[in-house]
């Protein structure tokens, strides 16, 4: 039984030696560039814009809000401020080697559309050279919920 094992070991050694010789003979170097992916969570209301970048496992890479970019509270949900947010994100993310994003847009619960900064962020990230793999709307929808105000007969003029 040990002879069979020794024969298999010798065969494997010969195969390893052959592959080493082949690698030494080929002068070409193949470099594999690893393009990392990340998830961008964009929360936009009509008062603010929050952008949270995580890796695929959920660890935070960077987080930028409208208040971090501007001093004026009335401008936090502005598309122009959203461009500055995306520029700051691009600076932080380029260091970690991320080239492509999965985008998750979320609006305030019950709103039919996201705030004004969501589309601007995606647009300016593509201009920065990042690839958008997927855009997903994760806005929560109310299903019944608590009783609305106004009483039994509703609001009257």
List, as one string, the DSSP characters of the chain: -HHHHHHHHHHHHHHHHHHHHHHHH----------EEEEEEEEE-SS-EEEEEEETTS-EEEEEEHHHH-S-GGGTT-HHHHHHHHHHHHHHHHTTTEEEEEEEEEE-TT-SS--TTHHHHHHHHHHTT-EEEEEEE------S-SPPSS-TT----
pLDDT at 147: 82
Q: How many CB atoms are located within 10 Å of the residue 72 CB?
A: 10
- Residue with the two structure tokens 């994100």: 89
pLDDT of residue 93: 92
Domains with residue ranges and CATH for the chain:
42-100+111-131 (3.30.420.80)
Q: Comparing C-alpha atoms, which of 76, 88, 79, 80 is closest to residue 50? A: 76
pLDDT of the chain, 157 residues: tens digit per residue: 576 666 766 766 666 555 544 445 545 544 444 678 999 999 999 999 999 999 999 999 999 999 999 999 888 889 999 999 999 999 999 888 899 999 999 999 888 899 888 999 999 999 999 999 999 999 998 888 888 888 889 888 8
CA distance 77 to 44: 7
> Minimal CA–CA distance to 45: which of 105, 103, 107, 138?
107
41 within 8 A of 102, measured Cβ to Cβ:
no
């Amino acid at each position: 039984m040990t002879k069979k094992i020794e024969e298999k070991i010798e065969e494997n050694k010969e195969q390893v030696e052959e592959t080493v010789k082949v690698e030494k003979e080929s002068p070409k170097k193949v470099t594999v560039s690893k393009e990392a992916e990340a998830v961008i969570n964009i929360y936009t209301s009509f008062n603010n814009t929050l952008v949270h970048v995580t890796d695929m496992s959920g660890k935070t890479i960077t987080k930028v809000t409208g208040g971090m970019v501007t001093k004026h509270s009335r401008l936090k949900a502005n598309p122009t401020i959203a461009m500055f947010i995306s520029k700051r994100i691009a600076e932080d993310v380029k260091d970690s080697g991320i080239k492509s994003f999965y985008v998750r847009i979320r609006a305030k619960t019950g709103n039919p559309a996201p705030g004004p900064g969501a589309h601007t962020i995606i647009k300016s990230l593509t201009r920065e050279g990042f690839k958008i793999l997927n855009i997903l709307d994760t806005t929560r929808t109310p299903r019944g919920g608590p009783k609305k105000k106004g009483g039994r007969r509703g609001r009257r003029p």
